[in-house]
A and B are shown apart, each in its own frame.
Chain A
């Protein structure tokens, strides 16, 4: 049975976006966390930074690789989960809740509808050989 929450949308690059109180909360999926392996560092933007859909908002280093984190939606960064930098295991334990990364005030809310719903994201994972 899928563990993919159906209350949010997903980018094909494995970030999730959850609308809450006029903001969009962003993180990465359990699948992505598992694929990354041991996490070493995370670099998140500062509050006030502008982000664009499909563009990098941060970077994460795992064993052997640094990977960009892509924003699923455009807007302004309103909150940053800075505690993650010293508690990367939070991502492993709670990718969909306590492992959130940033909260964005969307400038193009319609972009959210272009993202995948949970079942479509699950199908993508199946195609990728999960």
Chain B
């Protein structure tokens, strides 16, 4: 396996009850590693979801080549990126296809049993996540006040036929304020959520060209997210070996097979 990007994790303190711990304590974050192919880049986050418990994880990913990931229930299709057809791999999260190339791909895995994700309604969770992302982007790039959360009323149900995530609109999009009067806000980032048991996964795709992020600056963005989550300390690490091994198994069993990705 081409060693994928790395992650980050944060524990809710070395003592005390996580539900009552204001300071989540140690956070360990996976460093950004070598770029990976599509399936190998998506699967580790699912394995982290299985083992993360009360620990925050933030995982950054790079791509060896442009790739497309499909929303959980989106009909299968392949995309041409950079003039070349690319196989698609399915994500856990919903929404439309994301064409990955030079953008910042960042996944947060967090427990839902305590603030800020102690809510049931997906819209509430999405609000919290979008505000976190906006704050982290605003303070770790030069965007400052020009980045905002789109707001408005959800209309995703009417947009399931729109394949490309960046052509869909959501109240939780990260957008740039229009420079000209009457212009539409430009979408520079999208979020999608998945819940399993007491864990929440937030997958995000942020366009680097419009935000000033770069592979080198992604770390600062991820660190800022950890700070906003009130992680006591942030630890960068490679993806743990046990997660690499179980991710390889999942790639071999599911995501690495075109038939599995085509199941819809």
Contact = CB atoms under 8 A, between A and B. Distances in A.
Contacts, number: 76
22 contacts: A35-B121, A36-B121, A37-B122, A37-B123, A39-B157, A40-B94, A40-B157, A61-B71, A62-B122, A63-B126, A63-B156, A63-B157, A63-B170, A64-B123, A64-B125, A64-B154, A64-B193, A65-B93, A65-B193, A65-B194, A66-B92, A66-B93
B172 interface: yes
A107 to B, nearest CB: 21
B170 A64 contact: yes
B150 interface: no
B154 A37 contact: yes
A43 interface: yes
A38 B171 CA distance: 14
A56 interface: yes
Interface in A42-65: 43, 56, 59, 61-65
B72 A64 contact: no
Interface residues of A, number: 22
B154 A65 contact: no
Given A63-B154, A64-B192, A66-B195, 14 more contacts: A35-B122, A36-B121, A37-B123, A38-B157, A61-B71, A61-B94, A63-B170, A64-B122, A64-B191, A65-B94, A65-B122, A66-B72, A66-B93, A68-B197
Interface of A: 14, 32, 35-41, 43, 56, 59, 61-68, 70, 128
Contacts of B194: 65-67
Binding site of A, secondary structure by majority: helix, strand, loop or mixed? strand
B51 interface: no
B138 interface: no
Contacts of B71: 61
Contacts of A64: 94-95, 122-123, 125-126, 154, 156, 170, 172, 191-193
A99 B195 CA distance: 21
B197 A41 contact: no
A37 B121 contact: yes
B12 to A, nearest CB: 21
B72 A61 contact: yes
A67 B154 contact: no
B141 interface: no
A110 B248 CA distance: 38
A43 B73 contact: yes
Nearest to A39: B157
A3 B160 CA distance: 32
Best-buried of A56, A66, A128 by chain B (most CB within 10 Å): A66
